[in-house]
Amino acid sequence: MLTAKQHELIRFIQVRLEETGISPSFEEMKEALDLKSKSGVHRLISALEERGFIRRLPNRARALEVLKQPDDVTTAVRTPAASVPAANDIVARTAQPPATPPFAANDVIELPLHGRIAAGIPIEALETHATLPVPAALLGSGEHYALEVSGDSMIEAGIFDGDFALVKRTDTARDGEIVVALVRNEEATLKYLRREGGKIRLDPANASYEPQIYEPHEVIVQGKLAGLLRRYH
């Protein structure tokens, strides 16, 4: 049998993975369990690991995976301490294990890398067979792909030349969202989408560039920005 603290810790880790896809830090676990030091967290994790309930993923910071739940999990959660309501409220909400185990924090997904996309004057989006490894925790639900950004017209939105745009595949978007727009069925660009006076306006995020205005039939939304990756050399 597991101790009450071991029960509480495994449930806290499980719920945090469900909600964010990222393992809680040792400091967060210490606060959630109302422990005096991180060494207590280390002992609890080691005990759970020895019993086969969790495992630490090698060479991955803050990466824990819940392998199984204790049989008496529904009786394991104790009343949260008043001093840490936010953290322990997460624990208290857990009655049943999820149907599908969440992915670990540093799992990697290989996204299709569909060439370069303009963040300036539209250029042709090149189709390639390349892929880009992306931490799964950066992505939400749905199908995604990646594009390398070319140009500087979105720098005021924090998007720079050489960044990798992580794009959720969709053919619809709301005004003000950053989208991948296929223009005149031949050129792709990354811009803010606006609808104005029966036209489609693609707005840059750089005062040096002018908005691009098209007829609705000239613009097809191919996705909206879900995240960015940047490499430092």
Note the pLDDT tens digit of each residue in 86-129.
434 433 333 344 444 444 444 678 888 887 887 665 555 555 67
Q: Between these two residues, 169 and 72, which has the higher pLDDT value?
A: 169
**pLDDT recorded at residue 209:** 92
Task: State percent of the chain over pLDDT 90.
Answer: 30
Long-range CB pairs of 15-21 (<8 Å, 24+ gap) are 15/90, 15/91, 15/93, 15/94, 16/90, 17/64, 17/66, 17/102, 17/103, 17/104, 17/105, 18/98, 18/102, 19/90, 20/137, 21/102, 21/103, 21/105, 21/136, 21/137
Please determine, for residue 216, whether its predicted confidence score (pLDDT) is greater than 80: yes
**pLDDT recorded at residue 163:** 92
Mean pLDDT of 198-224: 94
Catalytic residue among 191, 199, 208, 224: 191
**pLDDT recorded at residue 15:** 86
- pLDDT tens digits for range 25-52: 778 888 888 888 877 887 888 888 888 8
Q: Is 46 a catalytic residue?
A: no
Catalytic residue among 5, 23, 150, 153: 153
- pLDDT tens digits for range 121-161: 555 555 567 888 888 777 778 889 999 998 899 999 999 99
Please determine, for residue 75, whether its predicted confidence score (pLDDT) is greater than 80: no
Q: Is 68 a catalytic residue?
A: no
**pLDDT recorded at residue 87:** 39
* pTM exceeds 0.85 for this model: no
List, in order of start, the domains of the chain with CATH numbers: 4-92 (1.10.10.10), 108-229 (2.10.109.10)
